[in-house]
A = this chain, B = another copy of it.
Amino acid sequence: MEAEALRYEKLAEDLRGIIAAGDLQPGERLPSVRRLSRERRLSVSTVLQALHQLEDRGLVEARPQSGYFVRHPGVRRAQPDSRSPPDMPVAVDVSQRLMRVLQAGVAPGVAPLAAALPASGLLPLASLQRLYAGVVRRHPRLLAGGSHINMDEAALVRQLLLRSVGWAGALAASEFVITNSCTEALALCLRAVTSPGDTVAVESPAYYLMLQLLESLGLQALEIPTDPGRGLSIEALDLATRDGRVAACLLVANASNPLGSIMPDENKRRLARLATDRGLPVIEDDIYGDLHFGNERPWPIKAFDGSGQVMLCSSFSKCLSPALRIGFIAGGRYRSQIALQKTIGSGATNPVTQLVLAEYLASGACERHLRTLRRSYQRQVEAMRAAVARYFPAETRITEPQGGFVLWVELPPEIDASARFEQAIAAGVAYVPGELFSASGMYRNCLRLNCGNPHSPEIDDAVRRLGDLLSR
């Protein structure tokens, strides 16, 4: 027993040394428990003991389904608590403020910390553009097709299916609808399963475009408490859907926007069961699912859905190119209503772009690119966390995202992020004020930062200026 104790101490000390020497950088993953166990000939529990010791000392952190990571020094900030939104659904009205934020955020000379957009240097743009030439040469009749129905390219649907084989055959080719973006996918699903006046359950905080969509469709938002670590509260959703007043649930289970939480598999299973039992349509935005920081691609709720209640929506705007404008829906039992809405709302989808995407997904380059990209995003998120911890007011809380590339920041309660927005733009920094993530006006002391760009001195300086401004 003493020998065992020594062995875990020895392992912990070795790892400390490696971290202190800089051989393992902040944000990098430690070797897996299994590998350490095998290579050091230690039991799994001994390895875990060593890692727990490092964790207690703030040197490493555990991430669900992902393993252990070196912490940024000085980024031992508390995560924001999940808040209790009002019990009642609320009409949404944030549209014109949002347009101002989006437009100011892309103005020249403004640091791009608002919209969740990746730096173009991280994306395989040259490969995608080259594919266009090949696609139109090899398929000379592509533009002959009809304009309203039957124009989903089988090659693209096949690639999308192949990407989900790990989910135990969760998807079927016959349930797909190709769309002009993930945004359009969400809009079509909502139109397929709701009527004006209905109530839709959303996360709190929720992605602002989802709230906009609800407003535009005359729907009410019911905000469900959402934990920065575990995502939407199943208990609260359970309560809210007991009396049948909720027409649908709209959420981001994998790397939620803005919190970056990944819902544990057990909760996904419970949510899928709840949807089945109550006939509740679930609209799942999985656009960040490929951008997990852990080893394993997290499954979507759709993978646990046996009854077709879950509509899976996504696109490749966050990992290949935001300008392609191709998204998709695996619509389950709602497929035909969704297809009707697509026919009415925009008709078919351009077949050239569909095939360009299909060919890129079929290439070996795609998985290599995604591996590199995940590491870049993780590094950028860690660096942004460190910068915020350094420059923002002392009591600021910061999320610890498990994927994606946005950071949610809770400022001291007296600071109003909306009120400071125009000053920040004047100082050359954009962000998305927290109140846009709530239909009921919560989160005024919060903001979201885009970490889609490599953490350059310019970005660091922008965070510093923003921190100065918020500290005043």
Contact = CB atoms under 8 A, between A and B. Distances in A.
Interface in A142-185: 142-151, 179-181, 183-184
A353 B141 CA distance: 16
A97 to B, nearest CB: 11
Contacts of A183: 147-148, 344-347
B345 A150 contact: no
Interface string A118-138: 001001011011101101110
A101 to B, nearest CB: 10
A205 to B, nearest CB: 18
Contacts of A325: 147, 180, 346-350
A323 B147 contact: yes
Nearest to A134: B133
B125 A322 contact: no
Interface in A195-211: 195-197, 209
Interface in A321-339: 321-325, 336, 339
A141 B125 contact: yes
A117 interface: yes
A191 interface: yes
Nearest to A321: B143
A120 B142 CA distance: 10
Nearest to A218: B196
Interface residues of A, number: 68
Contacts of A147: 115, 117, 181, 183, 317, 322-323, 325
Given A106-B150, A183-B346, A347-B183, A142 B323 contact: yes
A184 to B, nearest CB: 4
B145 A184 contact: no
Contacts of A346: 179-181, 183-184, 187, 325, 346
A274 interface: no
B103 A151 contact: no
Contact of A133 (B133, B213, B324): B133
Contacts of A132: 132-133, 135-136, 352
A229 to B, nearest CB: 28
A364 interface: no
B144 A126 contact: no
Contact of A146 (B117, B148, B150): B117
A149 B103 contact: yes
Contacts of A196: 196-197, 218
A350 B128 CA distance: 13
Contacts of A136: 129-130, 132-133
A140 interface: yes
29 contacts: A102-B149, A103-B150, A106-B149, A106-B150, A117-B146, A117-B147, A123-B143, A125-B144, A126-B140, A129-B136, A129-B137, A132-B132, A132-B135, A133-B133, A142-B323, A144-B321, A146-B323, A180-B180, A184-B346, A187-B345, A209-B343, A216-B345, A323-B351, A325-B346, A325-B347, A325-B349, A325-B350, A350-B353, A353-B353
Interface of A: 95-96, 99, 102-103, 106, 115, 117, 120, 123, 125-126, 128-130, 132-133, 135-137, 140-151, 179-181, 183-184, 187, 191, 195-197, 209, 212-213, 216, 218, 317, 321-325, 336, 339-341, 343-353
What are the 5 A-B residue pairs with the smallest beta carbon separation, nearest first?
A147-B322, A120-B144, A196-B196, A184-B346, A133-B133
Given A195-B218, A196-B196, 20 more contacts: A99-B339, A99-B343, A123-B143, A129-B140, A129-B143, A132-B133, A132-B135, A133-B136, A143-B321, A183-B346, A184-B347, A187-B344, A212-B343, A213-B344, A216-B345, A218-B218, A322-B348, A325-B346, A325-B349, A353-B353
